[in-house]
Amino acid sequence: MQVIACIPQISDIHTGCLTKMSSTEIFMQRLVDSRSQQAPPALLSPSIHTESEYIINSSPSPSYSPSLSSYFEEDTRSSFRNCTSRESLISTTSEKVLLMSSEQQSSVVQPLLTDLYQISMAYAYWKPNKHQELATFDLYFRKNPFGGEYTLFAGLDECLKFVRDYKFHSSDIEYLRASLPSYIESEFFDYLSTLNMNDIKIYAVPEGTVVFPRLPLMRIEGPVIKTQLIETTLLTLVNYASLVATNAARFRSAIGADKTLLEFGLRRAQGPDGGLSASKYCYLGGFDGTSNLLAGKLYGIPVKGTHAHAYVSSYESMDDLSERELCDRITGQRRPFADLCLQYLNVIGPVLKILPDETNKGELAAFISYAIAFPTNFLALVDTYDVLKSGVPNFLAVARALHECNYQAVGLRIDSGDLAYLSLEVRAKFHEISKKLNLPYMEHFTIVASNDINEDTLVSLEKQGHSIDSFGIGTHLVTCQKQPALGCVYKLVELAGSPRIKISQDIEKVTIPGRKNLFRFYGHDGKALCDLLTRIDEPEPQAAVRMLSRHPFSEQKRAYVTPTSVRSLYNLYWADGEIKYSLPTLKQIRTYVREQINELRKDHKRDLNPTPYKVSVSDDLFQFMHKLWMKNVPIGELE
C-alpha cells in the first residue's frame, strides 16, 4: 500500500518561511566528522541515501566470480525506498555530507582485542621455533540459531579490515611486557612489534551467503602463530554480525517483502558498539532503515524517526503554542494553521462519532507544533492518551489543515495496545474520512507500529490480519533475545601438511580435518539441493554428473545427487598483504541476501518445524576423515 507519492519537499516551500533553515544547515555540517573532510564526497538526497566506499587496496582478482556481479548492481526494486511518502519518515537535509572512510573511523578492533591465551600460545609457539609452521584453521558454527535451518554469514568486511590493519603499537607492547611473566624474552616482544598478516591467506564464502552448520565460513592459512593470534577477534566479528543479520532476515520473512521494517534498537543494544553493529547488520539482513544517526552516517543506511511520547506530553493545551501559523507551500502566504486544525476537528468529530471537545488538546497542540516544524514529514504518535478517541481525530484534523496549506501528511505511529485491532480500526476511519472529505490519498496514510515486537508477534499479526504498513522494532531484534549467541568456533584442521582432528564423545564437536573446498548443488528449479565439502585436491564436482554425497558422521546416511548446476562458494579474499576483491557495498550485500534466501525451498524457511538443509561430504573426504578418526581414538582394554 502506498501513500500519494508526491509529498512536497522542503525546497518547495516559499523561501520567506524558512528563517530557521540555516540552523539545520549548521547542524548537518557539525554532524560531519572533521576528519571525514578528506574522504571522497558522497552526495546525499534529502533522504540521506548513501553507501560506503569499496574497501579495496588492490585491483580485483582475475578470478572474480561473474556469477556474483548481478548481486552487486544498484538495488532499485524496493518500493519503500522509491516512494516519496515512505521516504518522508527519513530525516531530511539538502546538504552534501561526507562519509568517513574506514581508515578514519576509530575502532577498538585491534590486536589486543583478544584473549590472553592467544598471546600465551603465541609465545609457546615462538619459544621452540614452531611459530613458522604452516597451519589451517576453519571458522564455522555447529547449530543454526532461533530454531531455524539457515544462517546468514556476515562480518567478513570487518575481518578483512582487521587483518589489513593488524599491528601492535608501542603502548600494546609495553602493556604486554607488564602483564606477562617477567622471564619472557625481550626478543618475543620485538617480534610482536613488527608482526603483520601479509603472509596469511583467507578464503571465505561471500558476505551475505546463506550458510549452514559445519561449513567452514572462512579458511585461514599461514604461520601458526599468526593464524592463532587472530582467532578471538575473527570470532567476535563474525558471531554477532551473523546472528543479528539472521534475526533480521527472519523478521523480514515473517512479515513479507511489502512491509517496511525499521530498526529502533540503539537504546536497548549492548553498548554503543553493539548498537552500531546491530544497525549495520539488520540493514544487511533486510531492514529498510534505522533510527541510529551515526550508523546512517558511517554506513549509508537510511535514517528514520518521528517523535516520542515526551514531545506530546510536553504540551498541556492550545495555549502552549507559540507558533500558530504555517506558510502555504505554493503561495508562501501565512495561514492560521492552529485555527484551521480546530475547525477541521469539528468537521471530523461527527464522522468518527467522537466529541471534538473531548480530544486531548495538549496532544492536538503537540501535533500542530510538529506539523509546523515538519509540514512535509508529519507522522504523529497517537497513543499517548487514547488512540481512537483522541490520537486519530487530532491527527486527521491536522492532516486536513495541512492539505488546506498544500501539504500532505504521512501517517501515524501506534506504540501500544492491540496492534492488529487498532490498525484495522484506524484504517477504517481513514477510509471514512477520505470519502467524506473526497481526499482519496488519506485512505492510504501510513500506519507504523512499534511496542516490543518480536518474530512471533509478526507471525501472529499475519495470521490475525492487520493494516500496518511499517514496523519499528528494537529490543528483540538487536539483543537477539530468542538466542543470544551463535557459537562460532575456530579449529585447527591442518599443521605442516598433516591433517588434524578434534575427537569428542559429542559428535557435533568432532572436526572435519584437512583443507577443504565447498560447493553448492542446485536442482532444475534453481533451488539449492545440498552443500558438499571435498578434500582440497579432489576434482571439482560437475553439473549433470552423478556423485555420492555422505553425511559427515553417519555411515548409513548417503545419497547420489546429480546437480543441474554447481557453484564453488570459496573466494580468496586476502593474500600477499592485500584484499583481493573489491568488496560490495552494504546495499549490494543486502540485495545478494535476498537472492540467497530466495534460493532456499520454502520448507527450509518456514517458522514451524523447518526441513533441515543437507550438508554433506564427498566419499573421499568421508573415508579420509573416519580413518583419521579411528587412528586418533585410543583402544581401551577390559580387565
Task: Output the domain CATH number for residue 373.
Answer: 3.20.20
Say if residues 364 and 380 touch (Cβ distance below 8 Å). Answer: no
b/e sequence 303-339, b meaning 16+ C-beta within 10 Å: bbbbbeeebbeebeebeebeebebbbbeeeeebebbe
Query: Cell numbers at residue 317, please?
Result: 493545551
Per-residue model confidence (pLDDT) at position 63: 39
Please report which helix (H) or strand (E) contains residue 369, including its range: helix 361-373
Per-residue model confidence (pLDDT) at position 91: 38
Per-residue model confidence (pLDDT) at position 23: 40
Per-residue model confidence (pLDDT) at position 313: 98
Query: For residue 69, which amino acid is it?
Result: S
Strands 379-381 and 411-414, how do they pair?
Answer: parallel
Q: Which of 401, 409, 397 is nearest to 346 (CA)?
A: 397
Where on the phi/psi map is residue 544: left (φ > 0), alpha (ψ -120 to 50), or beta?
Answer: left
Calculate mean pLDDT across residues 152-157.
98
> Average model confidence (pLDDT) for the chain?
87
Calculate mean pLDDT across residues 509-536.
97
84 has pLDDT over 50: no
- Condensed to tens digits (0 to 9), the pLDDT of residues 210-247 reads 999 999 999 999 999 999 999 999 999 999 999 999 99
Q: Which of 296, 311, 395, 380 is nearest to 348 (CA)?
A: 395
Please state the pTM of the whole predicted model: 0.84
First to last CA, the chain: 76
Is the residue at 410 inside a domain? yes
Per-residue model confidence (pLDDT) at position 637: 87
- Condensed to tens digits (0 to 9), the pLDDT of residues 13-27 reads 333 444 334 443 433
Least confident of 43-47, 133-137, 486-490, 608-612: 43-47
Say what percent of the chain tops pLDDT 90: 80
Least confident of 35-44, 107-116, 256-265, 558-567: 35-44
Give the chain's domain count: 1
- Condensed to tens digits (0 to 9), the pLDDT of residues 357-398 reads 999 999 999 999 999 999 999 999 999 999 999 999 999 999
Per-residue model confidence (pLDDT) at position 636: 85
Written as one string, the DSSP assignment of 85-154 is HHHTTB----S-EEPPPGGGS--S-STTSS-HHHHHHHHHHHTTT-TTSEEEEEEE-SS-STT-S-EE--
Domain that holds residue 435: 309-465
Is the residue at 55 inside a domain? no
Q: Which of 409, 466, 416 is nearest to 258 (CA)?
A: 466
Report CA 213 to chain centroid distance, whole Å: 21
Query: For residue 483, which amino acid is it?
Result: Q
61 has pLDDT over 80: no
Is the residue at 473 inside a domain? no
Is the residue at 400 inside a domain? yes
Is the residue at 413 inside a domain? yes
Q: 107 or 565: which carries more pLDDT confidence?
A: 565
Is the residue at 351 inside a domain? yes
Whole-Å CA distances, 365 to 388, 403, 448: 17, 18, 21
Q: 94 or 335: which carries more pLDDT confidence?
A: 335
Calculate mean pLDDT across residues 606-618.
95
Query: Cell numbers at residue 204, please?
Result: 571465505
Non-local (6+) Cβ contacts of 297 within 8 A are 31, 32, 33, 97, 99, 100
Q: 453 or 24: which carries more pLDDT confidence?
A: 453
Is the residue at 219 inside a domain? no
Is the residue at 369 inside a domain? yes
Secondary structure string (H, E, C) spanning 512-573: CCCCEEEEEEECCCCCEEEEEEEECCCCCCCCCCCEEEECCCCCCCEEEECCCEEEECCEEE
pLDDT band at 105 (very low <50, low <70, confident <90, very high): very low
Strands 547-550 and 614-618, how do they pair?
Answer: antiparallel
Per-residue model confidence (pLDDT) at position 107: 75
